[in-house]
Structure 1
Amino acid sequence: MSISETAWALFDAHKSGIAPLSRKGGSFVGQLAVDPPSALTASQADWLTKLVDRAGLRSMGGETND
């Protein structure tokens, strides 16, 4: 799953109430959805991993940093 696809999946999880995003988290995910970087910093990758795990998206398809 690409970074952008992961971000959109996180928005879907937020919308359905599975994993609500904070304002800061939503801003971060929005930036990844609209203008994904070619690579994440270590801090960004860690945060994204935490959000993905909280939403239960790991089972949907592997890596978030491709």
Structure 2
Amino acid sequence: MTAIGTKGIIVFENWRDLKVGTIGQPIETVELPHPSTLPWIMRHIVDALHKKPAEIYGLEVG
């Protein structure tokens, strides 16, 4: 999944690898501090579905 905005790009690969880059800069991998047996985004989706705190943002925030 890739999101392209006016200031840069965010790439989510293989349901676990996050890469970001600003306009004119190379895309770099971001190390995420969410060790889990589930990919980190899936953990947040499951938490949200169970009405637990989760980090999920709409496109207007991104």
Q: Give the number of the structure whose alpha-carbon radius of gyration is greater.
A: 2
Q: Which has the higher contact order (CA 8 A, sep 6+)?
A: 1
Whose helix proportion is higher, 1 or 2? 1
Whose strand proportion is higher, 1 or 2? 2
Q: Do both share a fold (TM > 0.5)?
A: no
TM-score range, shorter chain: under 0.3
The TM-score, its normalising length taken from structure 2, stands at 0.26
